[in-house]
């Protein structure tokens, strides 16, 4: 017998374009809704969790921690906190997201009275934060002794070994408030005293929160923020197929809203066993995504095993070398089209809609719109989010340009052997990901707003005001290599090619 051969070549997003459709006068970006289901639901019912934007952040050490989860939830999406860490540490991240109060910031740039100006400048360069709490022990919740801002020192007139105690604004001169102060009361104090920041302390003078003037405006702008019934930010958590029996109950107690099995290949009995155990022991209301798969058979397998959403994509991530090392995978666009067709067939047969997540292969923003048009309900993004201030990696300067570190879960650095587990030895036998840098891009909020503006604008070009309308009305064409060249700037000399010297 011969192996099965797919008749169609395997295609990527870069080989397709959307053909514009009729746009009515009502079809303007401001009217576009990007609301989308995160988890499985029955026909005629509403999903337990919906997102306001079709974006989730990848289950990666270099991408999704509590800081990323809070920032993305503010914009309407969901982060899946990485699971390649001890159970207690992952749970602590989830807890910090659920305990976060909008407008009340836990200090993450903290120094001691003995911290030198040189060390302060280095920390400022790493975090981009100019306001730093001076606590007795240098921790975020230590006894507050003062505050240092850029107005407290002059780099040109002070030695680098000058200690913070010599130039900080001491506690006796600070305007502060009790930890139980409401956000409205805090903002009143900020405006009354013309402050940029108000520290909130407990009865023992220990720092609890910081409220910033700029956050007042930000809070008013976060109209799409994603919150649960108790007005806490929604957060997901990554799990594996090894320690789920211990990990899931701890993460549930911490407040995780949804889970996702983090695996390079989901068409396996290990995922079926994991899904069935979780649903049998913790109930059907505990939502668990699974994957990754690249064809109809893989989707059907996970759907019948109880997956609450299915991730599509093998080897398409920018740091993934699975295709190079193992020779498995499929072009992301082709895989997505195949799986979404299977998703729709399953819905017609059973009445259950299982959202599809496109994971990998996104190089340009317009690839996201293509993924949605091809049937994806949302995307999981790694490289995209790794570039931002909110990712947990270091910002480094190379030849005058800033970058962020970015490594794959299959890299030697992450050593996430559970993600590539085939039931054998508990080890990573060879690498399926690389350790790399990505260009630093600034804040999540600014970049996500630009990306979503592009998506909304393109949807209007296609005459669609919702993701479902886009999927029904989109006209998609394959492009030749020549037309890909034609699509970029050509036959001109760009001004930035000339030296300004």
* Active site members: 320, 419
- Range 39-42, long-range pairs (CB < 8 A, 24+ positions): 39/258, 39/287, 39/289, 39/308, 39/309, 39/355, 40/287, 40/307, 40/308, 40/309, 40/352, 40/353, 40/354, 40/355, 41/352, 41/353, 42/351, 42/352, 42/353
- Cα distance between residue 22 and residue 193, in whole Å: 54
Nearest to 164 by CA among 194, 144, 141, 193: 144
Report d(CA 104, CA 182) in Å as an integer.
9
CA-nearest of 430, 193, 221, 459 to 327 is 430
> Look-up: residue for tokens 């005629």?
44
- In angstroms, the CA 317 to CA 360 distance is 4
Rounded to whole angstroms, how far apart are CA atoms 457 and 156?
A: 48
Residue 146's beta-bridge partner residues?
A: 134, 170
* Omega of the bond leading into 193 within 30 degrees of 0 (cis): no
99 sits in which H/E element: helix 87-99
Cβ count near 365 (within 10 Å): 16
Beta strand ranges found along 202-287 (DSSP E): 207-212, 236-239, 258-261
In angstroms, rounded to a whole number, what is the distance separating the alpha carbons of residues 261 and 211?
36
Which three-class secondary structure state does DSSP give residue 233?
strand
Structural contact between residues 264 and 313, judged by C-beta atoms closer than 8 angstroms: no
- Do residues 108 and 67 lie in contact, with contact meaning Cβ atoms separated by under 8 Å? yes
User: How far, CA to CA in Å, does 484 sit from each of 283, 330, 371, 400?
Assistant: 49, 21, 18, 32
Q: Would you say 465 and 33 are in contact if contact means Cβ atoms under 8 Å apart?
A: yes
């Amino acid at each position: 017998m011969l192996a099965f051969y797919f008749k169609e070549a395997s295609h990527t997003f870069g080989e397709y374009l959307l053909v514009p459709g009729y746009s009515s006068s009502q079809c303007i970006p401001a009217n576009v809704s990007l609301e989308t289901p995160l988890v499985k639901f029955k026909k005629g019912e509403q999903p337990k969790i919906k997102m306001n934007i079709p974006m989730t952040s990848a289950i990666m050490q270099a991408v999704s921690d509590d800081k990323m989860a809070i920032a993305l939830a503010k914009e309407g999406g969901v982060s899946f906190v990485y699971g390649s860490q001890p159970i207690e540490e992952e749970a602590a991240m989830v807890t910090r997201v659920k305990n976060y109060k909008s407008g009340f910031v836990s200090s993450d740039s903290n120094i001691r009275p003995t911290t030198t100006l040189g060390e302060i400048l280095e920390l400022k360069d790493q975090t981009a934060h100019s306001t730093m709490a001076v606590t007795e022990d240098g921790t975020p919740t230590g006894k507050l002794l003062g505050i240092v801002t850029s107005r407290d020192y002059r780099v040109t007139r002070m030695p680098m070994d000058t200690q913070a105690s010599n130039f900080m604004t001491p506690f006796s001169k600070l305007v502060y408030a009790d930890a139980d102060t409401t956000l409205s009361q805090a903002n009143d104090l900020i405006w009354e005293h013309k402050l940029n920041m108000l520290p909130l302390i407990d009865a023992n003078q220990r720092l609890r929160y910081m409220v910033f003037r700029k956050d007042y405006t930000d809070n008013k702008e976060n109209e799409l923020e994603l919150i649960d019934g108790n007005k806490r930010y929604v957060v997901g958590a990554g799990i594996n197929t090894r320690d789920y029996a211990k990990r899931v109950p701890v993460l549930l107690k911490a407040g995780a809203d949804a889970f996702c099995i983090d695996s390079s290949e989901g068409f396996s009995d290990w995922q079926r066993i994991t899904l069935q155990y979780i649903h049998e022991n913790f109930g059907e209301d505990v939502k668990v995504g699974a994957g990754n798969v690249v064809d109809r058979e893989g989707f059907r397998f996970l759907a019948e095993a109880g997956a609450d959403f299915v991730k599509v994509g093998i080897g398409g991530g920018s740091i993934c070398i699975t295709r190079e090392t193992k020779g498995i995978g499929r072009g992301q666009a082709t895989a997505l089209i195949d799986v979404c067709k299977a998703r729709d067939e399953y819905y017609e047969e059973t009445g259950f809609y299982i959202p599809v997540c496109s994971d990998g292969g996104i190089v340009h923003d317009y690839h996201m719109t293509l993924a949605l048009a091809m049937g994806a309900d949302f995307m999981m993004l790694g490289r995209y989010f790794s570039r931002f201030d909110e990712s947990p990696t270091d910002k480094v300067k190379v030849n005058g340009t800033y970058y962020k570190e970015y490594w794959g879960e299959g890299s030697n650095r992450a050593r996430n052997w559970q993600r590539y587990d085939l039931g054998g030895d508990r080890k990573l036998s060879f690498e399926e990901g690389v350790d790399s840098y990505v260009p630093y891009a600034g804040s999540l909020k600014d970049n996500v707003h630009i990306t979503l503006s592009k998506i909304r604008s393109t949807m209007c070009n296609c005459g669609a005001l919702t993701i479902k309308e886009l999927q029904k009305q989109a006209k998609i064409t394959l492009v030749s290599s020549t037309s890909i060249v034609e699509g970029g700037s050509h036959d001109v000399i760009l001004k930035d090619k000339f030296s300004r010297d």
